[in-house]
Amino acid sequence: MSTLEIKDLHVSIDTEQGTKEILKGVSLTIKTGETHAIMGPNGSGKSTLASTIAGHPRYNVTSGSITLDGEDVLAMTVDQRARAGLFLAMQYPVEVPGVSMTNFLRTAKTAIDGEAPKLRTWTKDVKAAMAQLRIDADFTQRNVNEGFSGGEKKRVEILQLELFKPKFAILDETDSGLDVDALKVVSEGVNRAHAEGNMGTLLITHYTRILRYIKPEFVHVFVDGQVVEEGGPELADRLEEEGYDRYATGAGAATIAAADAAAQA
Amino acid sequence: MTDVTTEKARIGAPSAQPFINGFTEEGESLSPLNAAESKSPLAGDAVKRHSHGGGVGIPDSSRAGRLSSYKLADFKPLTGMEEDWRFTPLKRLRGLHTEVLNGAAPSVAVTGPDSVRIESVGRDDARIGSAAIPEDRVSANAWENFTEATVITVPAEVQVDGEVSVLLTGQGTDASAQHLVIVAEKFSKSVVVLDHQGTAVVSENVEIVVEDGAQLTVISLQEWNDDAVHASSQQVKLGRDAKFKHIVVSLGGDLVRVTPSARFTAPGAEVELFGLYFADAGQHLEQRLFVDHAVANCKSNVLYKGALQGRNAHTVWVGDVLIRKEAEGTDTYEANRNLVLTDGARADSVPNLEIETGLIAGAGHASATGRFDDEHLFYLMARGIPEKVARRLVVRGFLNEIIQQIKVPAIEERLTAAVERELAATDN
Ligand SMILES: Nc1ncnc2c1ncn2[C@@H]1O[C@H](COP(=O)(O)OP(=O)(O)O)[C@@H](O)[C@H]1O
Ligand SMILES: [Mg+2]
Q: Please calculate the CA angle A126-A131-A135 and round it to the nearest 5 degrees.
A: 90
CA distance A126 to chain B (A): 16
pLDDT digits (tens, 9 = 90+) for B27-73: 332 333 343 333 333 222 222 222 223 233 334 468 988 999 999 99
Considering only CB atoms, A108 lies closest to which of B2, B385, B395, namely B385
Question: How many angstroms does the Cα of residue A205 sit away from the middle of ligand 2?
Answer: 8
Q: Residue B405: pLDDT band by 50, 70, 90 thresholds?
A: confident
pLDDT at residue number A28: 97
Question: How many angstroms does the Cα of residue A20 sit away from the middle of ligand 1?
Answer: 10
We report the CATH number of the domain holding residue A35 as 3.40.50.300
Higher pLDDT, B18 or A109: A109
Neighbouring residues of B65: CB distance < 8 A, sequence distance ≥ 6 = none
- Rounded distance between C-alpha atoms, residue B3 and residue A36, angstroms: 36
Residue A131 is assigned to a structural domain of this protein: no
Cβ–Cβ contact A165 with B under 8 A: no
pLDDT at residue number B392: 86
pLDDT digits (tens, 9 = 90+) for A26-39: 999 999 999 999 99
Residue nearest atom 11 of ligand 1, based on CA coordinates: A43
Q: Cβ < 6 Å from ligand 1: which residues?
A: A 13, 15, 22, 40, 42-48
pLDDT digits (tens, 9 = 90+) for A169-186: 999 999 998 999 999 999
Ligand nearest to the CA of A41: 1
Nearest to B180 by CA among B201, B149, B202: B149
**Cβ-contact A186, A155 below 8 angstroms:** yes
Neighbouring C-beta atoms of residue A119, cutoff 10 Å: 9
Neighbouring C-beta atoms of residue B15, cutoff 10 Å: 8
Task: End-to-end CA distance of chain B: give it in Å, rounded.
Answer: 25
pLDDT digits (tens, 9 = 90+) for B138-168: 999 999 999 999 999 999 999 999 999 999 9
**Cβ-contact B274, B405 below 8 angstroms:** yes
Neighbouring C-beta atoms of residue B421, cutoff 10 Å: 10
pTM of the model: 0.73
* Chain A / chain B CB contacts < 8 angstroms: 84
Helix, coil or strand: residue B359: coil
**Cβ-contact A256, A248 below 8 angstroms:** no
**Cβ-contact B164, B194 below 8 angstroms:** no
State how far the alpha carbon of B14 is from the alpha carbons of A151, A153, B360, in Å. 35, 35, 8
Considering only CB atoms, A96 lies closest to which of B386, B394, B396, namely B394
pLDDT at residue number B3: 35
- Rounded distance between C-alpha atoms, residue B152 and residue B163, angstroms: 12
Backbone dihedral angles phi then psi of residue B325, each to the nearest 5 degrees: -55, -35
> Has residue B23 got a pLDDT over 60?
no
Ligand nearest to the CA of A38: 1
Nearest to A113 by CA among A140, A84, A87, A90: A84
Cβ–Cβ contact A140 with B under 8 A: no
For the sheet with B200-210, list strands across it: B117-121, B149-154, B172-184, B200-210, B229-238, B255-264, B284-293, B314-323, B346-355
> Has residue A43 got a pLDDT over 90?
yes
Nearest to B199 by CA among B89, B104, B310: B104
| Total length of chain B | 428
Considering only CB atoms, A108 lies closest to which of B370, B378, B384, namely B384
> Has residue A259 got a pLDDT over 70?
no
Nearest to B389 by CA among A76, A108, A86, A87: A108
pLDDT digits (tens, 9 = 90+) for B86-134: 999 999 999 999 999 999 999 999 999 999 999 999 999 999 999 999 9
**Cβ-contact B136, B286 below 8 angstroms:** no
Residue A123 is assigned to a structural domain of this protein: no
Q: Which residue of B has its CA nearest to A82?
A: B384
Neighbouring C-beta atoms of residue B107, cutoff 10 Å: 12
- Rounded distance between C-alpha atoms, residue A234 and residue B222, angstroms: 69
CA distance B400 to chain A (A): 9
Chain A, window 195-254: residues with a beta carbon less than 8 angstroms from a chain B beta carbon = none
Residue A221 is assigned to a structural domain of this protein: yes
Residue A13 is assigned to a structural domain of this protein: yes
- Rounded distance between C-alpha atoms, residue B66 and residue A89, angstroms: 55
Residue A109 is assigned to a structural domain of this protein: no
Question: Which among A11, A12, A13 is the best mutation to test ligand 1's pocket, defined by most ligand atoms within 8 Å of the CB?
Answer: A13
Residue A153 is assigned to a structural domain of this protein: no
- Rounded distance between C-alpha atoms, residue B415 and residue A226, angstroms: 54
In chain A, pLDDT over 90 holds for what percent of residues? 84
**Cβ-contact A155, A185 below 8 angstroms:** yes
**Cβ-contact B129, B64 below 8 angstroms:** no
β-sheet bridge partners, residue B228? none
Considering only CB atoms, A79 lies closest to which of B339, B372, B384, namely B384
For the sheet with A218-223, list strands across it: A86-89, A168-172, A200-205, A35-39, A218-223, A226-231
Mean pLDDT of B221-234: 98
State how far the alpha carbon of B11 is from the alpha carbons of A9, B289, B292, B318, B320, in Å. 55, 21, 19, 20, 17
**Cβ-contact A200, A33 below 8 angstroms:** yes
CA distance A173 to chain B (A): 17
- DSSP string of chain A, one letter each residue: --EEEEEEEEEEEEETTEEEEEEEEEEEEEETT-EEEEE--TTSSHHHHHHHHHT-TTEEEEEEEEEETTEEGGGS-HHHHHHHTEEEE-SSPPP-TT-BHHHHHHHHHHHHHSSPPPHHHHHHHHHHHHHHTT--GGGGGSBTTTT--HHHHHHHHHHHHHHH--SEEEEESTTTT--HHHHHHHHHHHHHHHHTS--EEEEEESSSGGGGTS--SEEEEEETTEEEEEESHHHHHHHHHHTTTTS-TT--HHHHHHHHHHHH-
Helix, coil or strand: residue B105: coil
**Cβ-contact A52, A25 below 8 angstroms:** no
Cβ pair B380:A99 closer than 8 A: yes
Question: How many angstroms does the Cα of residue A42 sit away from the middle of ligand 1?
Answer: 9
**Cβ-contact A213, A191 below 8 angstroms:** yes
Nearest to A222 by CA among A6, A67, A4, A2: A6
Q: Hey, what long-range contacts does A190-196 have (CB within 8 A, 24 or more apart)? A: A190/A158, A190/A161, A190/A214, A192/A132, A192/A162, A193/A158, A193/A161, A193/A162, A193/A165, A193/A169, A194/A33, A194/A35, A196/A165
Backbone dihedral angles phi then psi of residue A180, each to the nearest 5 degrees: -60, -45
Residue type, B354: E
Neighbouring residues of B285: CB distance < 8 A, sequence distance ≥ 6 = B250, B253, B255, B256, B277, B278, B279, B306, B314, B315, B316
Q: Residue B9: pLDDT band by 50, 70, 90 thresholds?
A: very low
| Total length of chain A | 265
What domain count does chain A have?
1
- Rounded distance between C-alpha atoms, residue B183 and residue B154, angstroms: 6
- Rounded distance between C-alpha atoms, residue A38 and residue B381, angstroms: 25
Backbone dihedral angles phi then psi of residue A228, each to the nearest 5 degrees: -100, -20
Ligand nearest to the CA of A226: 1
Residue nearest atom 24 of ligand 1, based on CA coordinates: A43
pLDDT at residue number B18: 29
The atom number, within ligand 1, closest to the CA of A91 reads 21
Cβ neighbours of B395 in A, within 8 Å: 98
> Has residue A52 got a pLDDT over 90?
yes
> Has residue A44 got a pLDDT over 90?
yes
Q: Residue A254: pLDDT band by 50, 70, 90 thresholds?
A: low
Question: Which among A44, A90, A227 is the best mutation to test ligand 1's pocket, defined by most ligand atoms within 8 Å of the CB?
Answer: A44
3-class secondary structure per residue, B134-200: CCCHHHHHHHHHCCCEEEEEECCCCECCCCEEEEEECCEEEEEEEEEEEEECCCCEEEEEEEEEECE
Complex ipTM value: 0.94
Q: Which residue of B has its CA nearest to A164?
A: B383
